[in-house]
Every structure is written in structure tokens, then in C-alpha cells.
Structure 1
Amino acid sequence: MQITNYINGQWLDPSGMECFQTINPHSKAILEQIGESTIDDMKAAIDAANAASEGWKHMPSPKRGHYLIEAAKWLADHLEEIAYDLTREIGKTIGEAKGEVNRSIQTLYYYAAEGLQPIGEVIPSSNENILIYTKREPIGPVGLITPWNFPIAIPTWKLAPALIYGNTVVLKPSEYAPKSAYYLMKALDHARIPAGVVNCVFGTQVDIGKTLVDSEKIKGISFTGSTEVGKIIGVQAASKGKKVQLEMGGKNAIVVLKDANLQKAVDSIITDAYSAAGQKCTAASRILIEAEVYNQVKNMLKERTEEIAIGDPHKEGTLLGPVATEKQYDLVQQKMENGKATMNLVIEKNIEMQEGYYIKPTIFETKDPVSEFIDQEIFGPVITLLEINNMNEAIKEVNRSKYGLSASIFTTNLENAQRFIQHVDVGMVHINTGTVFTELQAPFGGMKDSSYGPKEQGKEAIEFYTMSKTIYQSI
């Protein structure tokens, strides 16, 4: 399969003279040689989206939903193939890869159904001869910049609401996982979506993304990635008068109180810390444990970490595969070395010799909640334990982080659960469930350095992809 750009309904070779490679993180084998796109390719995609905007805007939303349904059917027919290649691209276990593809399918169906929902309201007037009502309209062509850790799910949950609400799209996916996004383009092409409504440009050059963000023809930018890059893009886009939606980093905490179901808490911590090799913005990273049960929980986590199945992500039963790229491997290893210099190492699980980018699942503990390590987003299979004395201290430590994406508490005390909900500064709160659990029909997003702008997913996605128009009609 040759991966090419999808521009104005056509599969076009990138115009650059060079190529970039994708690498299987399990075997380090070269997977694809892909042509480098240029600024000219991105400009062509932007022009196509702009030209198609007016016709797509005025197409009835139930008809727009038809294309999403047909694309979902195509993905479902090719689920096994897509999941297999997704695992090869980023090392996510095959079970998680299948789950991600299915999430994309369900997202398309969900937003197809949103095309049948009301998009305005009637407002009472003080004048009996005036009818006041509102309607929502698309903002226009939008640019979507997506990461490698959910290479088909995130493009889908940005693209699906953008389309159903009448916007055209230019997608710039991660260069580390282009094939997953390519499958999504194949699905929409199979659905015979009108030319120019969806466009996708592959490449590694920073200028490609900058061109997308700078273009006056692009009316909104939705970005998912690191906080550092997100802030740069946010300033750049806002200075051009665009709507901005940023989903960035996380340093998510799980609180375990002494009255908790400890087995349930430990099960969730293991899943939240080690699934996808910890490469989720919602992954559990800080584990805050009440003093009375601290040693018990620590020992349970240590024992469970020793039991983790590590290795070939295509094998059923593997929990922990490699991190996605050599760059990510080097970053996590460096951060772990810094952790060893400043904290107590509880366990660094020995693993059989692996050729790929495998990080040993690791648990640290510290008594210093303000250390640099506990403030950093690691984005690997690493957690840090911190002993707390009471509920007030738990809330204080959760809120200490500059991030505010997700937090969880395990307790059987409803009063403590309600206090946690009211006082933690995060966008998603979990009671007796882990930090990574999300559903597509609910809003997704955080506070502080984790998110900026309207939230993603669910009905709240309409806030970013549309603008409200108020109508006063004499009757």
C-alpha cells in the first residue's frame, strides 16, 4: 500500500524530493517509505477545503451523516487489517488496537446521528410580534493536527464532528503513524465524500503545519499533542483570529484512601499506568496513598508489576508493548535516570531481551511532592508513589500539578467522593474508576496546562465547530 496525500478527492504523491520512514517499534524494521510533502501540497489542500466549504455547509446534516455511516462500515469491514497495521506502527497491543479502531467506528456512527439533532432554540420575546430563535452554523474550513498515540481515534473524533456540523477539513496527522490516518481517508473516499471536503497531508516538515495554522482560509485549529507545542500553535492561531482547541499534557493522579477497595484500586492503577506503555494523556502517573494503607498498596503494586506480560504486541495476552518511537524511548529513559538520582526505586521490572523500544515498567516513591520528576509528564510506563495523611492533603497534591486533565479517587466514603469532585482542578473526575476511562458521548478535556478552548467529543464538540446566529423575525 502506497501512502499518498488525499487532496480534493484525489490520491496525490507528495511533491517533495525526499522521503521519510516509519519504523516498527517492536522489531525496528522499516515499514514504509513515504514522500515528503511541501508547503505547496498543504496550500493545495487548504484551497480544496476552502472551495468545497460553501457546498458542504449547505448540504442537509442528515445527508452529511450518510458519508460518516458509509465510512464507518468500511472501517468495520477492515478492522482486523487496520488494527494489525496500527500495532505495527506504534507498538500498541493488538487488543488495544482493535479497541481503538472500534472507537473510531462508533464515533462516526455517533456523529452521524448528531446530524438529526436540533441545532438551535426558540427564545421568548417581550414583543408579541417578534419571533426570536438561534441556529448554529459551521465556522468554515478547519485544520486538525493529531498525534501518534491514538493515530486513528483522535483524527476521527476531531474529523467526525467537524464534518457533521458542516465544516471542511485539512488533516495533518503524525508522521510516526501515517498509515492509520490513511485508512481513515480510504474509508471516507470509499464513502464518496465530495471532493475537497476532507483533505490529508503527510510529512515531517514544521513548515507544513505552520502553513496550515497561518492560512487565512482556515478558520479553526484543533490540536492534540505536547503542551509546549500546543501553546505555540495556540498563540500563532489566535493571532490570526482563528478559533483554537488544544488538548495537551497530563500528570494524572489516583488517590487511594484507607477505606478503599484496595484490589480494585490496584487493578485500575496497573491498567492506567501500563496500558499503551503509559503513552496516554490520561495515564495514571502520580499515586497518592493514605498512610494507613501505603505499604500494603505499594507491595500489591510491586507484585502486580512483576507479573506483567511484556513483549510482542501482536500476541494476545501482552499487556505492555514498546513505546512508539526511538525518540520517545530516549526521552523516557533520560527521565527515568533523573528519577533514579532523586527518588527511591521501588521496582524496575526485569524483562527478557527485546530488540525494540521497550521500557521497563517502573515504580518510584518520594516524600518530595514538588520534585521536578513528579511534575513532569513522563509518557511512559512509570508511576510515582506519594504518601498522604488525609483527604485535604490528597486534594492539595492533586491540584499542585500545572496539569488538570484527569484524576481519580478510590474510597467508599461518599462525603469524601463529593469533596473530591468539588475541589480538584481537573476536567474529568473518576470515582472508583481509573483515570483513562472515557466514553465518546461525554465531553473530553481538562483545565490549566492540559487543555484550552471548548472540549472535545460528545455534544459539547458543537461549541468548537460551530458559531451561534441569533434571528429576530417579525411575524
Structure 2
Amino acid sequence: MSNPATTLARGSEASQPQIEEFRDLINGEQLRSVAKPFDNINPADTSDIVGRFQASTAAEAKLAVSAAAAAFERWKKTSVSARAAILNRAADRLDAQADQIAREMTREMGKALNLAKDEVLRSAQTLRFYAVEGQSLVGEVFPNDDPDMTVYTLREPLGVVSVITPWNFPISIPARKIAPALITGNTVIFKPSSDAPLSGYRLAEALVAAGLPKGVLNFITGMAGEVGPAITTAPEIRAISFTGSTTAGEQICRAVSFTTRTQMELGGKNPLIVMDDADLEKAVDLTVKGGFSLAGQACTGTSRVLVMKRVRAEFTERLVAKVRALKIGNGLTPGMDLGPLATARQLDSVLRYIAIGKQEATLLCGGERLTGAGYDGGYYVAPAIFADVTQQMTIAREEIFGPVIAIIEVESYADAIAKANDTEYGLSAAIVTRNPRVMHDFANDIQSGTVKINRTTTGNLINAPFGGLKRSSTSTFRESGRVGLEFYTQIKTVYRGC
């Protein structure tokens, strides 16, 4: 992808920093929308405009669909080794530009710079993983009674697929969707979140620079209400991989044809159980890392901590002390533990839930919007801990997606499991214990697609399946790992006689 070659003066003063305008990539061409572009704002300093992006229209989205459809047959017939080489070259480019991309990511969505760089490098690993795994994806040969016949299966690409991704992991989530789609021979329409489009742009840029033919990957930005129907309900769309809110995912599923394959990774209300034999210091550390990394804006983030009655007081005291010591600030500043919330909408939503929590439960610390030097220009909230939370409370049931943790007292392992499972979600769950029997039982008893034992609820390997149960996922196809390839392929059975 070539340089956008468009810079716009910020304001009317020539001395002001230049704002770079990034265009859609459709059929290998940089296209400007007919609509007015939108600004990508730094949530740590809202006076900083990271870039300007296209508020694409439905007509432009349809162009992307047509381009992907036209490119499919050629890409399908491209050798898998040639596809793999492109993924590897793109990975090399991400590695080489990791510092730059990480800094841009921190500016556009707020996470700490070290976490942003880890995400870029992880995304490069994801591309390399699928470059290898995609070359060993094979069908099966079936025994039969006819010596003059061979029966076997072929795995073929679906066709045009839409990839729609959120802002919280703006390059790693797209990488784990786009890489398996491309290596298996599909063409892609990629729509990143409008709240963090630059990281996705850099991924698309790396893939195009690595040699993707025109139309194989089409990058488009804009509001979901405008471009969404065109890239989800068009008859050319064979599959949709979406990560976002449960409400949005369910709307997509209701709108598309039954012939359109869907992969939905949605919300969570993830529990961490602290048993009475737990290492409490470790339990506190896992709670803080799982609940407040990325300012609580992770779908697998810890939001409920179910603590055995015997250790609740000591655990709570240690947790509050650790949370009060956390450093909050701009992710570009070394040593910060929490950055800002990603958008003004996130800020308003989190503060609304905290206000509800104050009416329902006991606020032990945090919960206020931070103001003053270093905070006035950003969307900062002090991490909140609520105690005396019961199952019926709003803050115990609804996904807050912010730095808010609810402590729920439990009487026994059975009580903890019952309360942990008493939710419409089932994305990730964890337990802290020294008891091997409890570890074994937890893995079987918890209703969750991802199960962690003495680990945070957050994080997953690139070579292991990822997905949820209940309303956290469509559950039919997992992301990540080798099984991530299956979503993008269909099986054809061949009977060949002499």
C-alpha cells in the first residue's frame, strides 16, 4: 500500500502539525470517499489527531465486495506456497515497523506502549503460524469396497469473506482472522473499528506491500450503520468473522442469509474464583492484571471475583491496597499501569455503570473521573472495586468493559461454581487454588470456552483455539490455532473411478 500522499493542515495555521489522511484500499487503489472524512482521536490527549479516515458510503462498500469477488478465482488458484510467502513477508514488515506501529496504536486507543509493541510482534507471529499451518491443511482418503475407486475430500476456500474487528486489539484480532482467510484462498473485505483504524491500516499495508494481488484484500473504514449491510448481506459474501458486542453480533446473525457462515466472538462477564487455599498475593496479582490491563477493555477481562468467605476480608484489603497504588496516565509514558478509556462513549458508559454500582453495592475505591494535570485532555477513570455485590445486581450481570471489579462472597466451591455459571456469557473463567482435585473439577464444571487455572482470565495462545459458550460466541467455529482454518474452508467429497 503506497503512502496516502495526503496531508491536511490542522486548523488554519501553517505551523500546526499536519494531519495525514488515510484512504480506503479497494481493488488495489487508494480511494477517497465522497463523504466527509472523520478524525482518529488520541484518548489520552483529545487535542492530538492521529489521522483522518474515510467515512465510506454503502456505494463504496459495494465496490469493495465487487473487487473481492472478481479477485477470488485467481487467488483461489494461487499456490499455497505463494500465499504463505506473502504472509511471511508481511510478518517481516510488521517486525521492522513494530516501534512505529506500536506508538501509533498507543496514540489511537490508549494502551501502554509495551503492550502495543507486544501486540504488533504477536501479530507477525500469527501471520507466520498460518503460513505454515495453511500448507499442511489436507482432506482425507476413505477406505471403500471398490478396488477401482478412490474416495477423498478436498478443502476449498469459501469465496469472499468480511472481517469486522474492534478497537481494543486493533491489529492482533484482524491478523488472526485475515491470515487464515488468505492462506486458504479466500478474498477479504476488512473493516476495522472507526475508533482505532490506523493499526488495521498498517496490517493491510504490510500485506499489500508483501505482494497481495489487487482485490484480494480490500480495506474500508466508516460507520457500521452505513457500510455494514453492504459487506454482510450482499449475496457475494460467503462468511463473516466479527468480534464486538453481543448485541451487534446478534443483529448481524439475524440479518444474513442462512447460507452465510458466521463466526461471532462477543461479550463476556468473566469470573475469577479465589479458593480459601489460594496464594492470596497471587490471586490479587491475577485480579489486577486480568481486570485492569487495557483499563478493563478486554472481552476476556476479569469483572467478577468470587471469593471464599474465610479469605474475603484479607483478599479485599490486599486488592484495594494494590489498586490504589496503580499508576494511571498516558500509555506513551513509561511505567504507567493503566491508560485512558478508548473513547468518549466508553467513558460515559463506564461512569454510568459506576453510578449504578454506587446505588447497589459498596464502593471501596476508585470510580471517579480523573482531572487535573495530565488528565484533563483524556478519558481517564480511577479503577473501581465494589464489595457486597450480589448476583442480582446490574454490575454483577452486565458487561461493563471498563476498570470495574465486583467482589462476590461465596460459601463453598459449589456455591462459587453456581454463581460463576449464573450468567448469559461464557467466554473466559479462572480459579486460584492449590488443590489438584479442585483444578480438575473446575475445568469440567465451569461453563466457559476458555478455562484458566492459576492464570488470568485474559490472554490466549496463537496456536490454541479461542472462543466462548452461551451468548459469548456462535460456538460453531473457533478462532486461532489450526482449527481457525476450518471456518474459511468447505469440504468437497470426490469419488474417482478408473
TM-score, with length taken from structure 2: 0.93
**Partners of 2:137 and 2:200 in 1: CA distance:** 30
The yes-or-no answer on 1:360 pairing with 2:374 is no
What secondary structure, in the 3-state scheme, does the structure 1 residue paired with 2:135 have?
coil
**Partners of 1:205 and 1:111 in 2: CA distance:** 28
Cα drift, residue 297 of structure 1:
0.7
Q: Deviations over 1:125-178 (max 9, x none)?
A: 233333222121111110111111111111111100000111000011111111
Contact kept in structure 2, 1:141 and 1:217, CA below 8 Å: yes
Contact kept in structure 2, 1:212 and 1:218, CA below 8 Å: yes
The yes-or-no answer on 1:27 pairing with 2:45 is yes
**Partners of 2:300 and 2:224 in 1: CA distance:** 28
Amino acid at match of 1:21: D
Q: In structure 2, do the counterparts of structure 1 residues 233 and 432 end up closer, same or farther at CA, with 3 Å as the change threshold? A: same
Amino acid at match of 1:149: N
Where in structure 2 are the equivalents of 1:384-423 lying within 5 Å? 384-423=406-445
Cα drift, residue 352 of structure 1:
6.3
**Correspondence for 1:150:** 169
**Partners of 2:37 and 2:464 in 1: CA distance:** 39
**Correspondence for 2:490:** 467
Structure 1 runs of 4+ with >4 Å offset: 349-352
What secondary structure, in the 3-state scheme, does the structure 2 residue paired with 1:296 have?
helix
Amino acid at match of 2:384: T
Structure 1 unpaired stretches of 5+ = none
Q: Deviations over 1:218-240 (max 9, x none)?
A: 10111110000110001112x35
The count of residues paired between Structure 1 and Structure 2 equals 473
Contact kept in structure 2, 1:250 and 1:377, CA below 8 Å: yes
Where in structure 2 are the equivalents of 1:66-215 lying within 5 Å? 66-204=85-223, 206-215=225-234
Please tell me the root mean square deviation across aligned C-alpha atoms, in Å: 1.3
Contact kept in structure 2, 1:305 and 1:349, CA below 8 Å: no
Q: Among 30, 40, 47, which residue is 2:66 paired with?
A: 47
Cα drift, residue 36 of structure 1:
1.8
Q: Among 272, 279, 285, which residue is 1:254 paired with?
A: 272
Contact kept in structure 1, 2:389 and 2:406, CA below 8 Å: no
What secondary structure, in the 3-state scheme, does the structure 1 residue paired with 2:307 have?
strand
**Partners of 2:221 and 2:495 in 1: CA distance:** 45
The yes-or-no answer on 1:241 pairing with 2:259 is yes
Amino acid at match of 1:342: E
What secondary structure, in the 3-state scheme, does the structure 1 residue paired with 2:21 have?
coil
**Partners of 2:183 and 2:177 in 1: CA distance:** 11
**Partners of 1:366 and 1:377 in 2: CA distance:** 18
Cα drift, residue 87 of structure 1:
0.4
Where in structure 2 are the equivalents of 1:436-455 lying within 5 Å? 436-452=458-474, 453-455=476-478
Amino acid at match of 1:471: V
Contact kept in structure 2, 1:216 and 1:240, CA below 8 Å: no
What secondary structure, in the 3-state scheme, does the structure 1 residue paired with 2:459 have?
coil
Contact kept in structure 2, 1:20 and 1:204, CA below 8 Å: no
Q: In structure 2, do the counterparts of structure 1 residues 321 and 385 end up closer, same or farther at CA, with 3 Å as the change threshold? A: same
Amino acid at match of 2:260: K
What secondary structure, in the 3-state scheme, does the structure 1 residue paired with 2:494 have?
strand
Identity value in percent: 40
**Correspondence for 1:65:** 84
Amino acid at match of 2:222: G
Structure 2 unpaired stretches of 5+ = 1-19
**Partners of 1:59 and 1:180 in 2: CA distance:** 27
**Correspondence for 2:4:** none
Cα drift, residue 116 of structure 1:
2.1
**Correspondence for 2:9:** none
What secondary structure, in the 3-state scheme, does the structure 2 residue paired with 1:219 have?
strand
Where in structure 2 are the equivalents of 1:429-440 lying within 5 Å? 429-440=451-462
